[in-house]
Structure 1
Amino acid sequence: MKSLQDALYNWLTIHVVAEARPNDTAAQETVAFFRAILQTDFHVTDINVVKEESMYTVHYKKEDEWKTARFPVELIDVMLEQIEREPEKYG
C-alpha cells in the first residue's frame, strides 16, 4: 500500500462486506489481510467505524494518537452492492 488513506479505504470496503457476510470465508480472510497491513505497515493499533448518512468515519489510533478519516458511503458500499446484485460471480 502506498498510503495510509489507501489502506484504510481498502480495509473499510472489505470490512463492510465481511460484516454483512459473516460466513463468506474470502471476505473474512481479506479483511484480516488488510487489517494486518494497517497494523504492520502503518502502525494502526485500534480502529472504529461509524456509518453516518453520507459518510463513514473511521477513528483509528496510530502511535498512541487518535486520528480520523472519512469516506463517502457510495464509494465504500459499492463492492457489497455489486456482490449482492451478482452473487454468482463472488461465490
Structure 2
Amino acid sequence: MKLSDALFNWLQMQRVCEARPHDNAAKDTLEFFGQILREDHNLDQFMIESMDDTEIRVRYEFGGNVKSQAWDRELCEQLLNDINSNPKYNQ
C-alpha cells in the first residue's frame, strides 16, 4: 500500500474513532493502519496537524524528516457519513 493511501485510510479511521469512541471495530481498524504506517513506511509519528472547513492536514515524521499532506475534508469524512447513515451501525 502506498504511503499516501495508508495515511488517508488512517485519517478516515481517526475521524470515525473521534466521532464513535465506543466503536471497537473502528479502533481495531485504526490500529491496523497505524501499524502499516509504522512498520511498512517507518513513520515515527503521524497526527492530524490542522483542520478547517475545507481540508484536513496530516503531519508525519520519519528518520528525522517532517512532512505533511492535506486532503479534502468532505472526502476524509465520507466514510464516517456512510457509517452514520446506515441504520445497521447505529443501533
TM-score (norm 2): 0.92
Asked if the contact 2:84/2:90 (under 8 Å) is kept, the reply is no
Using structure 1 for the length normalisation, give the TM-score: 0.92
Shift of 1:87: 3.6
Deviation string for 1:4-51 (max 9, x for gaps)? Answer: 101101110111101111100000000000000000000111112121
CA shift, 1:90, in A, is 7.0
- Aligned identity (percent) is 33
Alpha-carbon distance in structure 1 between the residues aligned to 2:13 and 2:44: 18
Does the residue aligned with 2:40 lie in a helix, a strand or coil? helix
Matched, 1:46 2:42: no
Correspondences of 1:57-72 after superposition (within 5 Å): 57-72=57-72
Kindly state the Cα deviation for residue 89 of structure 1 after the two structures are TM-superposed. Answer: 4.7
Secondary structure at the counterpart of residue 42 of structure 1: coil
Using the alignment, how far apart are the partners of 1:62 and 1:90 within structure 2?
Answer: 38
Task: Quote the Cα distance in structure 2 between the aligned partners of 1:90 and 1:27.
Answer: 13
* Counterpart-to-counterpart distance in 2, 1:78 and 1:27: 14
Q: CA deviation at 1:54?
A: 0.4
Kindly provide the amino acid, as one letter, of the partner of residue 42 in structure 1: H
Equivalent AA in structure 1 for residue 53 of structure 2: E
Written as runs of structure 1 = structure 2, the 5 A alignment for 1:1-91 is: 1=1, 3-49=2-48, 50-89=50-89
* Pair 1:51–1:87, CA change in 2 (3 A): farther
How many matched pairs? 90
CA distance in 2, matches of 1:9, 1:88: 25
Unaligned runs of 5+ in 2: none
